[in-house]
Amino acid sequence: MRTQLITTLGLDRARLAEDLERLADLPLAEPYDAFVCGRPWKAAMLMTPGGGDGSVLEPFDRSVPAAFTATAAHLPYLRELIGEHFATEHITFARLVTLSNGVLIPHRDTVDGAAHRVHVVLATGPDALFAECDTVYRMAEGEIWFIDAGRAHSAGVLGDTRRVHLLLDMAGVADAGELFRFTPEPSGGIPAASLHHRPELTAAERDGLLGLSHVIDEENVREVLGLLIRKHYRRDGGPDFVWRTMTEIARRSGDARLVQRVAELHRRTNVDHSMAPDTAYA
């Protein structure tokens, strides 16, 4: 399913605020720590196969129907929201994810055991952005989106906004409308109103970024990558800007180990679709 807006929900702000306040006292996993530049991407599992604890990266038996976890019992409004608006029999995983002042490395992934990934935006701000290939856009509070996780995508918060999304991995069905307990109104793509238009990257900015080849090393490689991702959200650097520029910086460094490291990270995140931890970045 291509990335597109499905509909907008009217959220109960007071009840949502209560649940998000409780979330601060619950244990959160950091399953993608090796793929975030900045503060960690944290997650709380609300539904898993069988309702057991653990992150989405763990080897759950996907043949077992998903059930609410013990964590979900502490978040009554969100549990109610899921049951009221989504066909829970088609949910594989449901999780809350939070991000603040950090960016996720552009990657492709598979929705393991599922066919659709759905985002419900619970809290966000103007500094929370998303990218699919060379397109940068925003999701607004209350919006529900399909996300094409098989295309290169990223997420970022360029400030201190606490961005909170409900992510649902859902099984394949004959009619995608069967996933919802409401009538979807798919936009067919990323709406023009959601697009974030960026000025073109200047020649001086590009030269400055390529100049990082003089200082990049084993210790700061992820910081350099994070800087490029942040620049991608602020400037239009052309096709495949992040990986193309990172590859060129590594090449200009003259360090064969860095060239190999960048190529390997790109292969795992965009070819093998693996989000497993990389011990070289741990």
Tens digits of per-residue pLDDT, 178-206?
999 999 999 999 999 999 999 999 999 99
Q: What is the pTM of this model?
A: 0.90
Question: Percentage of the chain with pLDDT > 90?
Answer: 74
Can you spell out the DSSP letters for 261-281? HHHHHHHHHHTS---S--TTT
Given 3-state DSSP classes, what are the helix, strand and coil percentages for the chain, each rounded to the nearest 5? 35, 25, 40
Q: Which CATH superfamily is domain 4-194 in?
A: B-lactam Antibiotic, Isopenicillin N Synthase; Chain (2.60.120.330)
Residue 174: how many CB atoms within 10 A of its CB?
A: 6
For all residues of the chain together, what is the average pLDDT? 90
Mean local confidence (pLDDT), 247-252: 98
Classify residue 201 by its DSSP letter: P
Reported confidence tier of residue 174, pLDDT bands at 50, 70, 90:
confident
Q: In terms of Cα–Cα distance, which of 273, 159, 259, 279 is closest to 217?
A: 259
Domains of the chain, residue spans: 4-194, 203-270
Cβ contact 106:270 at 8 Å:
yes
Fold of the domain spanning 203-270: Proline Oxidase; Chain: A,  Domain 2 (1.10.1720)
Classify residue 34 by its DSSP letter: G
pLDDT of residue 118: 96
Cα–Cα distance list, 109 to 112, 149, 152 (Å): 9, 6, 8
- State pLDDT tens for residues 43-84: 899 999 999 887 666 667 778 899 999 999 999 999 999 999
